[in-house]
Amino acid sequence: MIDLSQIPPPQQYDPPVSQLLTVGDARNLFQWPDYPATYGLTLDHVPDLIRMLQDVGLNWANSDSVEVWSPVHAWRALGQLRDEAAIPALIATFSRIDEEDSEWPQDEYPEVMALIGPAAIPALQAYMADEGNGLWSRSAAGDALAKIAEAHPQSRDDCVAILADQLSRHERQDPSQNGLLISVLTDLQAVEAAPVMEAAFAAGSVDVSVQGDWEEVQIELGLLDERLTSRPEYGWLPEEMIPLAQELRESPLAQMLANTAAQPESPPRVQPEPQGKKVGRNEPCLCGSGLKYKKCHGKPGGR
C-alpha cells in the first residue's frame, strides 16, 4: 500500500501537454475528444504524455481535484497518437489495476492498445502469460488482444490463438482467469477455440459467474440452439452467496434492472475511491443473474 504522506508533488509540464491538467472529469466526456486536434498534440509530445501517465503526484492527487484526471487524458492521447514507443510505458502501468483496485484503466487500456494496433500484441501476450502479474491486469491484457482483433481483422487469428493457448493452461490458472478468457473468446465468436473451452469447463477450472456454463457459451457461439438443462435459480452464484442474492433481488435497484430492457454502463471507479456506492464491474450483478455486472447489466444494451 502506498504511503500517502510520501507522495511527491505533480511534475511540471509545458504547453500543449499542460492543457490536459485542466480538462477535468473524464466521466463528463461521453466520447473521447480528438486529443491531438483539440490540444495540438503531436508525436513530439509523447515523452511528456508518458511522464504524465506515470506521474505519481497526479495519479494520487486529491480525488476531487481537476488534475487527478490528467493521466486518463494522457493515456487516451497516447492511444490516439498511435505511437508504438508508448507500448512499454502503458504495459508497465497495467499493474495499477490490481495494486490500486482501479477499474478505470481496466476499462480503457484495451481501447488504447487497440488504437496503437497489432504492434502491441507481443507485449500483451507476454504480460498475460506472466503468472506474477495480477488477475485483473492480465484480464485487461486479454481484453486488449480482443479489442485489437476487432479493430484489426487481419490480426484476429493471431489474437484468438494467443487467447486459446493461454486458456489451455487452465488447470494451473485461477478459475476467474479462465472464465475471463472464455468471455473474450466468446465475444470474438472464436468457434475454433471451442475444444479448449470445453476442456476447461470439463476440468471444473472455470468461474461460471463470468459467462455462465458451457451450455451458455455454446449458445453464444451458435453451437447450441437452446439449453439442454435448466438454469440454476440463482444463476451462476456460488452457494455461499445465494443469501446475499436473495436480499439483492428484493432491492429497488435490482427491480429496476430486471424490468428495464437496456441500461447505460455505470462509470468505472476512480482511484482514489469517489464518494457513493457503485456496483463494481467484476462484482455480481444486482439483478440476481449470478453473472458479473460487466457481463450482465453492465454490458452496452444491458441484458
Task: Give residue-wise pLDDT tens across range 170-197.
Answer: 999 999 999 999 999 999 999 999 999 9
Higher pLDDT, 30 or 11: 11
- In the chain, the number of structural domains is 1
Model confidence at 263: pLDDT above 50: no
Contacts of 196 (CB under 8 A, 6+ apart): 164, 167, 168, 170
Q: Is 112 exposed, middle or buried (0-12, 13-18, 19+ CB in 10 A)?
A: buried
Q: Who contacts 37 (Cβ-Cβ below 8 Å, separation ≥6)?
A: none
pLDDT at residue 261, rounded to an integer: 46
Residue 243 belongs to a domain:
yes
| Domain contains 140 | no
What are the C-alpha distances in Å from 37 to residues 9, 40, 46, 77, 80? 29, 5, 15, 10, 10
Q: Is residue 9 part of a domain?
A: no
| pLDDT classification of 46: cutoffs 50, 70, 90 | very high
Q: Is residue 281 part of a domain?
A: yes
Q: Is residue 197 part of a domain?
A: no
Residue 39 lies inside a defined structural domain of this protein: no
For 54-70, the pLDDT digits (tens) are: 999 999 999 999 999 99
* Residues of the domain holding 266: 235-303
In this structure, is residue 242 part of a structural domain? yes
pLDDT of residue 175: 96
Within a domain: residue 268?
A: yes
Please tell me the number of Cα atoms within 13 Å of 281 on its side-chain side: 24
| Residue 2: predicted pLDDT | 63
